[in-house]
Amino acid sequence: MYHGEAGEIEFVAESITGDPELDWYVEEEGGGVMISVAFGPVFVKDPHADEDLDFVSRGDGTKNST
């Protein structure tokens, strides 16, 4: 949940991976997580300190394609 809206973590940027899109978040922002919510994507630099972010469950790692 982010700011009361259900969301899904799209990626975690913690270290340089060789993927220019992910590496940009590490180099420019110091890392963090990208969350997809109804009102759009949100990048959270420090998920442990963000009071609007609540981890409520873990998915099975697959995307629903329907």
Residue 61 lies in a domain: no
Above 50 in pLDDT, residue 65? no
Residues 44-59 have pLDDT tens digits of: 999 889 999 998 887 7
* pLDDT in the model for residue 56: 86
Q: Is the pTM of this model over 0.85?
A: no
Q: Which structural domain range is residue 7 located in?
A: 1-56
Burial of 13 (0-12, 13-18, 19+ CB in 10 A): buried
Residue 64 lies in a domain: no
Residues 13-44 have pLDDT tens digits of: 999 999 998 999 999 999 999 999 999 999 99
Residue 39 lies in a domain: yes
Domain count, the chain: 1
